[in-house]
Amino acid sequence: MVLKVAGAARGLVAAKTLVHLLCLAPAAWLGWRIWLEFSTGDGGLGADPVAAIEHELGIWALRLLLATLAITPLRHWTGQTVLLRFRRMLGLYAFAYATLHLTAYLVLDLRGYWAQVFEDIAERPYITVGMAAWLLLVPLALTSTKAAIRALGRNWARLHKLVYAIAVLAVLHFWWLVKSDIREPLLYAAILAVLLGWRAWHAWRRRVPRPRAA
């Protein structure tokens, strides 16, 4: 029995290590290309590496956010409650990529035109929603510790329902910056619609009282 538990724990550690590596891989690959760009002038990031860096960090933030939202439906589907052990780390990685994305915009893209930040946030809807999404992620990241979960009690779950709004804002942020070819944002919107739609359906089904067995 003890052995079995220890084996499962080892399996979990291995799985978590693997997920950590998978989550870090895009950042490592991008970091390597940035280093090449910096040192040799060509890291394969194209003529406008700043835009490429922003886009890549943003897209990974969105992907990880959707992965976080996929955990609960996947758990119901597979019955594997162990999946929940990965939700926090995926969410925190989404936050990390979103923070790097924002940093790239502020440091590499705006390049000292700081005043434009406020104008952009106020006047550019896609930046407004992007900024809102990041700001809403902050309290979720801050309350992701065990202590915070205990301290907040039932309010923790309520607070973390914000992630649905954040995901919608993140998809809008992508959608609104595209000029005409909406295929890629549409794909993410469709995935989000499935993930949120499943939750709505699930909630509705649970509300409808089932006929009792005679």
Partner 1 sequence: MSLRDALRIPSAEITDEAVYMDRRRIVAALGLSPVLALSGCAEAEPPPPPRTRVAPAALRSGFSTAEPRTTYQDITTYNNFYEFGTGKADPSRARKTLRASPWSVRVGGHCAKPGRVPLETLLAGLTPTERVYRLRCVEGWSMVIPWLGVPLADVLKKFGPTSKAKFVAFTTLADRAQMPGIAWPSIDWPYREGLRIDEAMHPLAFLVTGLYGKALPQQNGAPLRLAVPWKYGFKSIKSIVAIDFVEKRPETSWNDLQPSEYGFFSNVNPDVDHPRWSQKTERRIAGTGSKLFADRIPTRMFNGYGEQVASMYAGLDLRKWF
Name the site residues for partner 1 (rule: CB under 8 A).
34, 37-38, 41, 46-51, 108-113, 116, 119-120, 123-127, 176-177, 179-181, 183
Query: What is the spatial distance between Cα 195 and Cα 62, in angstroms, rounded to a whole number?
Result: 13
- Residue closer to partner 1 (CB basis): 21 or 42: 42
For residue 69, the tally of other CB atoms under 10 A from its CB is 25
- Residue closer to partner 1 (CB basis): 21 or 178: 178
Token output for 185: 């944002």
Q: Say how far residue 204 (Cα) sits from the centre of its chain.
A: 26
Quote the DSSP letter at residue 46: -
Work out how close the CB of 186 gets to partner 1 at its nearest, in angstroms, rounded to a whole number: 12
Instruction: Please report the sign of the dihedral spanned by the C-alpha atoms of residue 51, residue 56, residue 58, residue 62.
Output: positive
- Residue closer to partner 1 (CB basis): 72 or 116: 116
Work out how close the CB of 105 gets to partner 1 at its nearest, in angstroms, rounded to a whole number: 12
Work out how close the CB of 20 gets to partner 1 at its nearest, in angstroms, rounded to a whole number: 27
The radius of gyration of the chain from alpha carbons, rounded to an integer in Å, stands at: 20
Residues 6+ apart with CB under 8 A from 151: none
Token output for 20: 């950590």
- Residue closer to partner 1 (CB basis): 56 or 120: 120
Token output for 98: 């979103």
Work out how close the CB of 129 gets to partner 1 at its nearest, in angstroms, rounded to a whole number: 11
What residue type is assigned to position 211 of the chain? P
- Residue closer to partner 1 (CB basis): 45 or 149: 45
Residues 6+ apart with CB under 8 A from 62: 94, 170, 171, 174, 188
Place of tokens 């976080």: 68
Work out how close the CB of 73 gets to partner 1 at its nearest, in angstroms, rounded to a whole number: 31
Work out how close the CB of 201 gets to partner 1 at its nearest, in angstroms, rounded to a whole number: 32
- Residue closer to partner 1 (CB basis): 14 or 119: 119
